[in-house]
Amino acid sequence: MPGTPLAMGPSMTLQQALALVLVATSIGCAAAPPSPPPTTVPAPAAPAPKPSPLDPKVLDRILSRAEESLSDALVIQHDGALVGSWTFGKPEGPIEAMSVTKSVVSLAVGAALRTGAIPSLDVPAHRYFPEWRRGPHAAITLRHLLDNTSGLEANRTTEAIYASGDFVRFALEAEVVEPPGTKFRYNNKAYNLVPAILEQATGEPIDRFLSRTVLAPLGVAPITWSRDPAGHCQGMAGLQIRPVDLAKLGQLMLDGGVHDGERLLDATWVAESTKPGPVTREYSLGWWLLADREIVLDAPLFAEWRSQGVDEELIELVAPMKDRPYEKRAFFAELERRLAGHGGLDRWHATTWKQGRRDGHVRTLEQRGYAGDGYLGQHLLVLPEERLVVVRMRRWSEGTEGVRDYDFVDLRDLAKELLRR
């Protein structure tokens, strides 16, 4: 057998022995079976990429509309993951949030409730402002200030507030014109009192308190918060924040107040902030409630306006819309068409919300989410069913502030269509 030593007989020469060894070796090599080829283990197939649930055509429409409406930033998150952040060639960095600041002020109140610095939403405001302990102001609570139901005299425009020099004093001296807790009146003046309450309750200005309790755990970059000439942090506006960081605040609300396993806001606070209140189904504690709604102009509304001295010409111009329910966007589009050459929507707004009047009778059909909205078309949309957070922001630029199309008001409807059905 191959490999077995051979014995040399006495008559075998050395050359003969070597020849036998060579023959035996060659026979052994020929008889050995060939080695099998090495086995090749195929690499596991790469998993197929998970299809995005977002409709690419709708996303393209949103991006096109964002650019057309002069957006400076758009951020979309789905189920906690960043879909994209776009700046359209504009500078990155913080942008003034305008009235979306009110939603962030509400977050700060939620944090103060969680720490116990504020005992309850129903704490009387006079606990922090002793001059309100007597008279009709005594009934105003923190909830009323956040819900825009304080009853304080309200002017939707802000010129008088900025001219006052002391936003807190200006609000404290406002008259109570309706019983607190009975009517919704959007009130910039009243919102400026909330940061002042927070500062007394927590011992810190709202920007420091919020940064310590909420923003730092979320990884939010440093913010800037505008103050009035008297040194008070504003409540009606004034927050400058990066759009991607504003989206983090929306995600915190979407996740019920929890970030990365850490609870920053009570779940009960998030739920309370995003459901209809006792006075209106449109607004709750700093957030606009997104719902399918119909707006109707009817005879009782026209009669109310006539009793208040509303221009008869304006009523006649919109009278053909009477008793027809309109989806909100269609309602304003029809108004714009009918009032073209007659003052347009500026005239309408000067007559309605700037005077504390409603645009029409509103019927709420189904709530779909909630939002912080602000001047120039600042939007923070939270859509729980779709697990979407969408932020759109725009910087002020000369000559564009009054153009409604630049406010990107159709973003809400487009965002609802993003998920494939």
Q: How far is Cα 361 from Cα 321, in angstroms, rounded to an integer?
A: 13
Q: Which structural domains are found in the chain, ordered by start?
A: 56-291+366-401 (3.40.710.10), 298-359 (no CATH)
Q: Which two tokens stand for residue 345?
A: 């929507």
> In residues, how long is the chain?
421
pLDDT tens digits along 155-164: 868 999 999 9
- HEC string for the chain: CCCCCCCCCCCCCHHHHHHHHHHHHHHHHHHCCCCCCCCCCCCCCCCCCCCCCECHHHHHHHHHHHHHCCCCEEEEEECCEEEEEECCCCCCCCEECCCHHHHHHHHHHHHHHHHCCCCCCCCEHHHCCHHHCCCHHHHCEHHHHHHCCCCECCCCCCHHHHHHCCHHHHHHCCCECCCCCCCCCCCHHHHCHHHHHHHHHHCCCHHHHHHHHHHHHHCCCCCEECECCCCCECCCCCEEECHHHHHHHHHHHHCCCEECCEECCCHHHHHHHCCCCCCCCCEECCEEEEEEEEEECCHHHHHHHHHCCCCHHHHHHHHHHCCCCEEHHHHHHHHHHHCCCCCHHHHHHHHCHHHCCCCCEEEEEEEEEEEEEECCCEEEEEECCCCEEEEEECCCCCCCCCCHHHHCCCHHHHHHCCECC
Kindly list the distances between the CA atom of residue 98 and the CA atoms of 57, 115, 157, 188, in Å, as whole numbers in the listed order. 30, 27, 13, 11
In a structure prediction context, what are the per-residue pLDDT tens digits for the chain, which is 421 residues long?
444 333 444 444 434 443 443 344 443 334 444 444 444 445 455 455 456 789 999 999 999 999 999 999 999 999 999 999 999 999 999 999 999 999 999 999 999 999 999 999 999 999 999 999 999 999 999 999 999 999 999 986 899 999 999 999 999 999 999 999 999 999 999 999 999 999 999 999 999 999 999 999 999 999 999 999 999 999 999 999 999 999 999 999 999 999 999 999 999 999 999 999 889 989 999 999 998 778 999 999 999 999 999 999 999 999 999 999 988 878 989 999 999 999 999 999 999 988 878 889 887 777 889 999 999 999 999 999 999 999 999 998 877 665 666 889 889 889 989 986 5
pTM for the predicted model, two decimal places: 0.78
Give residue 357's pLDDT: 87
* Adjacent-strand bridge partners of 82: 77
Query: In sequence order, which residues have a C-beta less than 8 Å from that of residue 226 and are 6 or more positions away?
Result: 233, 234, 237, 238, 239, 240
Q: How far is Cα 79 from Cα 255, in angstroms, rounded to an integer?
A: 9
pLDDT tens digits along 335-378: 999 999 999 999 999 999 888 788 898 877 778 899 999 999 99
Sign for the CA dihedral angle at 68, 71, 76, 82 comes to positive
Q: Which two tokens stand for residue 248?
A: 């983090």
